[in-house]
Structure 1
């Protein structure tokens, strides 16, 4: 079962994936469609500047590739091995506790009504 070469750095890949924003961006690319940085930033709930820094780390780490078409830049998983690794991690990963399963950065801006509002509405019925 131990076929992993001794000279691989699993911790380096784990560090890249461990950031919640980067994990959301990687997950968004699992459908094999290349996406622009702005779309990935939106999905992760972070600024374009922050997304750019995260995407650069993922490209440097070999998890993503950058595809340029004219003036447009698109990001995609670097290969099926990355998709397989992410899917395998999803099998053992704990489930998100949030109802909408939004990235951590978006949870504080929830559009759900506050409990007091729900109580007031219930009293009106």
Structure 2
């Protein structure tokens, strides 16, 4: 019986993490889309990111698609790993800046990266699609 309760709590926690992390990534990607690639690239340029136009497009698409897939419970492991890699890359590019392009503070990207790798390793609850 205790294992059933534990499994249910694990599944609910996994669902909450997927919805929360996926929703935040999707929202930041959507914000980049609304702002436009030019404005997003300009913000990456202030961080001296190489090829800021490429960074803007890749992060926007990664966040939109990866976030939506996490929310849907599809390919959670690979999406979590991809979103972790993106968070790590943005963190390295920011190299100590307290504000990141259209996403907020460094602490947000650290939290999202940590949660993403946890989802990549832990996977989704059995109720997820894949």
User: Does the alignment reach a TM-score above 0.5?
Assistant: no
Higher relative contact order (CA 8 A, sep 6+): 2
Q: Which structure: larger Rg?
A: 1
TM-score (norm 2): 0.28
Compute the TM-score of the two structures, normalised by the length of structure 1. 0.29
Structure number having the greater helix percentage: 2
